[in-house]
């Protein structure tokens, strides 16, 4: 039973792609819960399925198919909506998109069509969801652009997407995403393509708006440094499953799962001399058609237990310090 402050509860989610070469399980039995007013950082490297999973939350996972599990969304009124059961083209999910769950993509141009001005597109979203209409629409659009720190909002509203720089386009996309005051914002690598200076500004913007609007953010990134700056909780994903989830302080201070530990050990520090001590992970991500048996991480795990890790998939264990980890190494010292 999810806690009452859970806004999104994902249980045993499975998403598969039927390709000409075979079946690919991009997401394989994923469990994740997002609390209200919380920033959850989702960390994973390429191929772990984080983008596919995030797309499934607003049902744009096609051509993949949800083949198992549950996505429960608890809206403002507390009633649960089963997102996985909705028709991807139906009116219910269309009402939910933008108004309840909004998304910001890595590539800012994805959200904006090139033929209309920024203002027109944001205004259209707002009008469709009944936020503002008629005369009030124009000022609502300008207000939303101003709230994301756009230097000259009235002018920007009249510009076309290709006329803006990368940072400004990203701000415009965040403005569009926040324009309908969603409950959940899914940010899929929003700052990966940006400069350090723009990145820090976008992160600060997201932090401020999140506190102000009381919304939850699912922040997806492969950059642990960025996640450390913005998240309250962190979940680590590998090959379609969550391997560890913990409050941000706990995860960085005492990472449990060998993959999390390896990731943290791989980061070269700017404030410390790490000469000789950063280690990557050995091996490569397994072929999508050749998932390892048992724990999917075991071929690359320096601490694997032969006979256990290569045969049985570990279950999620809850630990004392508030973290959860999927690893056989912790099967004794955890409460089930």
Partner 1 sequence: MTDTAASRHSASQWQLMWAKFKDHKLALVSLGVLGVFYSIALLGPFLAPCDSWQTSRFTFAPPARIHVFHNGRLMRPFVYGMKMTSDPRTFERSIAPDKSTVLPVRFFVRGAEYEWLWLVRGNLHLFGVDSGGQINLLGTDILGRDCFSRDIVSTQISVTVGLVGVFITFVLGCLIGGVSGYYGGVVDNVLQRFMEFVTCLPTIPMWMALGAAIPAQWSNLKVYFAITVILALRSWTGLSRQVRSKLLQLRDEDYIIAAKVAGASDSRIILTHLLPGFASYLIVSLTLEIPRMILGETTLSFFGLGLRPPTVSWGVLLQDAQNLAAISVYPWLMFPAIMVVVCVLAFNFLGDGLRDAADPYKE
Partner 2 sequence: MAEPTPLLEVTNLSKSFALRGGFFDTPKGVVQAVDRVTLSIARGQTFGLVGESGCGKTTTARMIVRVVEPDGGEITFWDDELGRLDLCMLSGRQMRPLRRKIQMIFQDPYASLDPRMTVLRIVGEPLRATGCTDQRATRERVAEVLEMVGLRHEHMSRYPHAFSGGQRQRIGVARALATEPRLVVADEAVSALDVSVQAQILNLLRELQGRLDLTYLFIAHDLGVIRYICDVVGVMYLGRLVEVADKASLFRSPRHPYTEALLAAAPRPEPGQPIVHLPAPGTVPASGCPFLPRCRYQKDICTREAPELRQVAPGHTVSCHFDLGLTGV
- If binding is defined by CB under 8 A, does position 263 make contact with partner 2? yes
CB of 163 to partner 2, least distance (A): 14
Residue that the structure tokens 């549950």 belong to = 70
Backbone angles phi, psi at 110, to 5 degrees: -65, -35
Compute how many residues bind partner 1; rule: CB under 8 A: 5
Is residue 86 near partner 2 by the rule CB under 8 A?
Answer: no
Residue 182 near residue 5, CB atoms below 8 Å: no
The separation between the first and the last C-alpha atoms of the chain, rounded to the nearest angstrom, is: 15
How many residues interact with partner 2 (rule CB under 8 A)? 44
Distance CA 160, CA 113 (A): 9
Q: How far is the CB of 65 from partner 1 (least distance, A)?
A: 18
Shortest distance (Å) from residue 167 CB to partner 2: 10
Give the strands of the sheet with 233-238, arranged side by side: 101-104, 184-188, 216-221, 39-43, 233-238, 241-247, 324-326, 316-318
Nearer to partner 2, 62 or 267 (CB): 267
Q: Which residues pair with 101 in a beta bridge?
A: 97, 184
Instruction: Judge contact between 104 and 190, C-beta under 8 A.
Output: yes
Draw the binding track, 178-217, toward partner 2 (x: CB under 8 A; -: no contact).
Answer: -----------------xxx-xxx-xx--x----------
Among 212, 289, 303, 321, binds partner 1 (CB under 8 A): 289
* Binding of residue 287 to partner 1 (CB under 8 A): yes
Q: Which of 248, 325, 327, 334 binds partner 2 (CB under 8 A)?
A: 248
Give me 77's structure tokens: 């009124």
Map the footprint of partner 1 across residues 8-37, applying CB under 8 A. 21-22
**Of partner 1, partner 2, none, which one does residue 289 interact with (CB within 5 to 8 Å by kind)?**
partner 1
Considering CB distances under 5 to 8 angstroms, the limit depending on partner class, which of partner 2, partner 1, none binds residue 21?
Answer: partner 1
291 touches, from partner 2, partner 1, none (C-beta below 5 to 8 Å by class): none
Across the beta sheet with 65-74, what order do the strands follow? 22-35, 6-19, 65-74, 80-82
How many other CB atoms are found less than 10 A from the CB of residue 159? 15
C-alpha closest to that of 174 among 155, 196, 147, 152 = 147
Which residues of the shown chain bind partner 2 in the complex (CB under 8 A)? Answer: 45-47, 195-197, 199-201, 203-204, 207, 222-226, 228-229, 231, 248-249, 252, 262-275, 278-282, 284-285
Which residues of the shown chain bind partner 1 in the complex (CB under 8 A)? Answer: 21-22, 287, 289-290
């Amino acid at each position: 039973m999810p806690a009452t402050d859970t806004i999104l509860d994902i249980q045993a989610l499975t998403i598969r792609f039927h390709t000409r070469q075979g079946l690919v399980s991009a997401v394989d039995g994923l469990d994740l819960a997002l609390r209200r007013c919380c920033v959850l950082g989702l960390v994973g490297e390429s191929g772990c399925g984080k983008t596919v999973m995030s797309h499934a939350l607003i049902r744009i996972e096609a051509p993949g198919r949800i083949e198992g599990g549950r996505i429960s969304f608890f809206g403002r009124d507390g009633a649960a909506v089963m997102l996985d059961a909705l028709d991807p083209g139906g009116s219910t999910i269309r009402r939910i998109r933008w108004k309840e769950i909004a998304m910001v993509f890595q590539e800012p141009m994805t959200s904006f069509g090139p033929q209309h001005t920024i203002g027109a597109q944001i205004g259209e979203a707002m009008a469709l969801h009944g936020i503002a209409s008629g005369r009030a629409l124009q000022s609502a659009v300008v207000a939303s652009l101003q709230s994301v720190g756009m230097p000259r909002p009235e002018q920007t509203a009249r510009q076309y997407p290709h006329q803006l720089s990368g940072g400004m386009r990203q701000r415009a996309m965040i403005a569009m995403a926040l324009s309908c005051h969603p409950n959940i914002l899914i940010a899929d690598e929003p700052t990966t393509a940006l400069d350090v200076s723009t990145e820090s500004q976008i992160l600060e913007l997201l932090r401020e708006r999140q506190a102000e609007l009381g919304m939850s953010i699912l922040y997806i990134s492969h950059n642990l440094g960025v996640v450390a700056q913005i998240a309250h909780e962190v979940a680590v994903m590998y090959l379609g499953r969550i391997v560890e989830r913990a409050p941000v302080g706990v995860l960085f201070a005492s990472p449990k799962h060998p993959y999390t530990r390896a990731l943290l050990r791989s980061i070269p520090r700017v404030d410390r001399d790490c000469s000789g001590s950063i280690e990557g992970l050995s091996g490569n991500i397994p072929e999508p058609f050749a998932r390892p048996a048992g724990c999917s991480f075991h071929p690359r795990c320096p601490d694997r237990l032969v006979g256990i890790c290569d045969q049985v998939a570990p279950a999620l264990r809850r630990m004392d310090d508030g973290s959860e980890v999927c690893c056989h190494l912790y099967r004794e010292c955890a409460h089930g």
